[in-house]
């Protein structure tokens, strides 16, 4: 009889569609940035959530020949894991004698950000989440960097 009595007693209201969506990795501002980079209308950018697992989800934005993957990882110790990833990838570039592939420190995004030119990936953290932005496209390297930086900034910006 009392089996279902405690079913809703977690102290927090059940998630609604709006706050469940806000917690996911997809953002309207990122869709806008992808549209600008692709030279298309925002409505032409396809958005889908993929690779959902506990504490992680990926949002993929596609428009024309442009594909941007945004992975948001909210598992524990995001800042420690960010630092470890940067150091490990830098070590690999040194040991492989490929300094051009070394991470590049990027100022002004979250608690830290690095660009990995060989992978066209921006990695950043706000201390709570680890965010990876990978830009697949025929855009010039500088344009891929600028798009990765803009998207990463949106993902770790504090809500207003």
pTM (2 d.p.): 0.82
Is residue 17 in a domain?
no
Is residue 11 in a domain?
no
89 vs 142, higher pLDDT: 142
Helix axes 28-38, 141-156, angle to 10 degrees: 170
- What pLDDT is attached to residue 160? 62
Q: Which range of residues forms the domain containing residue 40? A: 23-156
What is the number of domains present in the chain? 1
Mean pLDDT value across residues 145-156: 96
Using CA atoms, how far apart are residues 123 and 80, in angstroms rounded to an integer?
13
- What pLDDT is attached to residue 20? 33
Is residue 123 in a domain?
yes
Using CA atoms, how far apart are residues 156 and 45, in angstroms rounded to an integer?
21
Is residue 37 in a domain?
yes
Using one digit for the tens of pLDDT, what is the confidence trace for 72-86?
A: 999 999 999 999 999
Nearest alpha carbon to residue 83 among 118, 124, 133, 25: 124
Mean pLDDT value across residues 104-108: 93
- What pLDDT is attached to residue 4? 43
Return mean pLDDT, the chain: 84
Nearest alpha carbon to residue 104 among 140, 141, 139: 141
Using one digit for the tens of pLDDT, what is the confidence trace for 2-56?
A: 444 444 443 433 333 333 333 478 999 999 999 999 999 999 999 999 988 899 9
Nearest alpha carbon to residue 61 among 137, 156, 159: 137
């Amino acid at each position: 009889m009392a089996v279902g009595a405690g079913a809703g007693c977690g102290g927090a209201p059940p998630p609604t569609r709006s706050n469940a969506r806000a917690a996911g990795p997809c953002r309207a501002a990122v869709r806008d940035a992808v549209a600008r980079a692709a030279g298309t209308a925002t409505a032409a950018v396809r958005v889908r959530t993929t690779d959902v697992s506990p504490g992680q989800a990926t949002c993929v934005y596609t428009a024309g020949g442009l594909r941007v993957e945004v992975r948001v990882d909210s598992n524990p110790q995001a800042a420690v894991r960010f630092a470890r990833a940067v150091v490990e990838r830098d070590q690999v570039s040194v040991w492989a004698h490929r300094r051009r592939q070394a991470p590049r420190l990027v100022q002004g995004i979250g608690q830290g950000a690095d660009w990995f030119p060989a992978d066209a990936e921006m990695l950043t953290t706000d201390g709570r989440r680890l965010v990876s932005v990978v830009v697949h496209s025929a855009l010039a390297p500088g344009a891929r960097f600028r798009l990765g930086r803009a998207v990463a900034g949106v993902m770790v910006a504090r809500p207003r």
